[in-house]
Amino acid sequence: MILDKIILEKKKEVAEIKKQGASLQEKLKEDKLSLLAEIKKASPSKGLIQKNFNPAVQLKAYKEAGADCISILTDQKFFQGSNQILREVRKLTELPILRKEFIIDPLQIYESFFIGADVILLIAAVLELEELKQLLDLTKKLNLEAIVEVHNQTELEAVIKTDAEIIGINNRNLNDFSVDLKTTEKLLKIIENKALRDQYSIIAESGIKTKKDIEYIKELGVDGVLIGETLMKAENPEAKIRELGLA
């Protein structure tokens, strides 16, 4: 029957659509500190970060410096980002793309899939445990990867009850926006003391500005760093990445 042939063909097409894209997890498992280089125009705490904002130029610098993943803010109201920025960057690189967004609903994960993201951010601070589990399950069904972000021990204790594979430790205090790199050290020790270190790839986020910061992070044994503001403010992002010792 012609209908059977059509459905068989559609199953092949759907399988092709759902095929996994670029993997951040594979990058994080390499024997080096991976760089997630961020593209963002503004933030609530810093206001406008880059006046002459040009995602394509920023991407080119990141690629030439050997970045392992591109993080893109898509929130419009608070970060002046957009889905269109991610779509345009997707056309220009095969590197894994992280959609940096405040995801609270399954619909946003489907949206992330269709605009071209490979990785999404799930923030433990804004999700109940069951919500987080459900969103992680959907992420895996769509062959996407997720960074589950934590800021403190309470959030970490919740996340280790899920199927998370990549944990992002954000050094920024959400109450007063202060930054302390020792947050990464503190939470990493908790993971190690629970004999769970091998279960997760760990990314340090926020407040990483100097080569000294990078050396400190490397000593802790994390797998990757996410750097945004420092690179967006640099006159020459490629040179800045090399200065940090990440190229």
The closest alpha carbon to 222, from 181, 193, 195, 185, belongs to 185
Per the domain annotation, does 92 fall within a domain? yes
Per the domain annotation, does 206 fall within a domain? yes
pTM of the entire structure? 0.94
Per the domain annotation, does 13 fall within a domain? no
Domain around 200: 19-244
Distance CA 45, CA 55 (A): 21
Per the domain annotation, does 164 fall within a domain? yes
Per the domain annotation, does 11 fall within a domain? no
3-state secondary structure at position 57: helix
Tell me how crowded residue 222 is: count the other CB atoms within 10 A of its CB: 21
The CATH number of whichever domain residue 63 belongs to comes to: 3.20.20.70
- Counted domains in the chain: 1
Per the domain annotation, does 151 fall within a domain? yes
CA distance to 9, 63, 92, 98, 172, per residue, from 109 (Å):
26, 26, 22, 12, 25
Which of 17-21, 108-112, 134-138, 178-182 has the least mean pLDDT?
A: 17-21
Confidence of residue 21 (pLDDT cuts 50, 70, 90): confident
User: Which pair of tokens denotes residue 154?
Assistant: 């309470």
> What sign does the dihedral 30-238-177-44 (CA atoms) show?
negative
Share of the chain above pLDDT 70, in %: 100
Per the domain annotation, does 1 fall within a domain? no
Per the domain annotation, does 57 fall within a domain? yes
The closest alpha carbon to 162, from 173, 146, 178, belongs to 146
pLDDT of 31-77, one tens digit each? 999 999 999 999 988 889 998 999 999 999 999 999 999 999 999 99
